[in-house]
Structure 1
């Protein structure tokens, strides 16, 4: 039973990461039961786990709905998430291994190549590369608890971060910032790496309001 529950949780998380599920989308029990060939029990257990993580809200006899933050919730989660990402960059600058530095550089090169080849095109494709970059930074922090906290919070804001790449010039700017952050991490410049990541992750007030409207 635990294996079936984990299977459903993993599938839902994969759909969030890929943008197939967005804030406010409804998750119904019956389709999940059919897709994964399971009974109602593991589906409900998966919902409990995801609700505990704050990623969904269960609905009485109707399944669940993907977490959709209010403005206050959005700002609160963003405030925490930005600092977690900054902390990861700072720790990565202290702890990164040569192999981790190489993986980070590869992630940045992929972002740069996408920006050069496609410009503002394919923002969803770029966002997947962006995820690889942030994962590389988090893993280089050497703190698995921090990595899990970042993943959980990121999934609550993922649709909003993804949507920002629809703005002209956003992809090129992101790739440039990734290079700056990576260079600081490789140079073991903890304070500047942390500050650069915080600046990279923050939204200005106008952008916050735009994104909430776009995904309203």
Structure 2
């Protein structure tokens, strides 16, 4: 993969992470060419690579678009992602360092405080804390391959997770889950940490339908 192709991939991923490219949104090839200072070939190569990763889909009318799952696809991806995150939590319980344990305590306290102070009035602020919580746990697992898999899967659902915290009680419930998961990790209870993380991603079908509708 060329440096130019990598630059285009990095730009598209950065926009997915920032929430400026949402599911179903078309990718403007000319804009990518201009911003990255590349020809059409690296852009096309980047889109093929992102399609292989499941982050981009081909649309007969719009061309390349950011992947937008159906309800069934969302639930399938969520099932995989829940297991990846749960595995990470189990490994973290076995491998977490003192420095990362301190980070985990801090972010859990931040989640709890933010939910208590803001409720659902600042979903973007809580979402950033949520990202940090999961990122600390993945780092504590000390498995780079697992970390890459978690990131790729999370990006397929990221836009929907953002919307979840607009709902009353969602941030408070999430913060409560985070505290329970962290308590198991910090106590080195691997199986309990894994089960708690799996339950944390147990969205029912109606919730998934509401999340998809909120983005679409």
Q: Same fold (TM over 0.5)?
A: yes
Partner residue in 2 for 1:50 = 50
- Alpha-carbon deviations, 1:110-167, whole Å to 9, x = none? 3223223322112122112211111111111111111111111111111122211111
Query: The residue matched to 2:165 in structure 1 has which SS?
Result: helix
Looking at structure 2, the residues matched to 22 and 211 of structure 1 have their Cα atoms a distance apart, in angstroms, of 13
The aligned counterpart of 2:150 is: 150
Equivalence for 2:30: 30
* Aligned-pair CA distance for 1:209: 1.9
Superposition deviation, residue 184 in structure 1: 0.9
Give 1:1-216 correspondences, 5 Å limit. 2-59=2-59, 63-216=63-216
Contact kept, 8 Å, 1:28 with 1:62, in 2: the verdict is: no
- In 1, the alpha carbon distance for the partners of 2:169 and 2:128 equals 17
RMSD of aligned alpha carbons = 1.7
2:117 match: secondary structure: helix
Q: CA deviation at 1:62?
A: 5.7
Change (3 A) 1:90 1:71: same
Q: In 2, are the aligned partners of 1:139 and 1:147 still within 8 Å (CA)?
A: yes
Runs of 4+ in 1 over 4 A off after TM superposition: 59-63
TM-score (norm 1): 0.93
* Alpha-carbon displacement from aligned partner over 1:154-213 (angstroms, at most 9, x marks no partner): 111111222111110111111121111111101001111111111111201221121222
- Between stretches 176-185 and 103-112, larger displacement belongs to 103-112
Query: How far apart in 1 are the matches of 2:211 and 2:187?
Result: 34
Distance (Å, rounded) in 2 between the aligned partners of 1:18 and 1:112: 23
Deviation at 1:61, TM superposition (A): 9.6
How far off its partner does 1:65 sit? 0.3
Matches of 1:184 and 1:125, distance apart in 2: 25
The CA deviation at 1:59 is 4.7
Could you tell me how far apart the structure 1 residues matched to 2:185 and 2:41 are?
45
Distance in 1 separating the partners of 2:104 and 2:153: 21
Distance 1:169 1:61, change over 3 A: closer
The alignment partner of 1:27 has SS state of coil
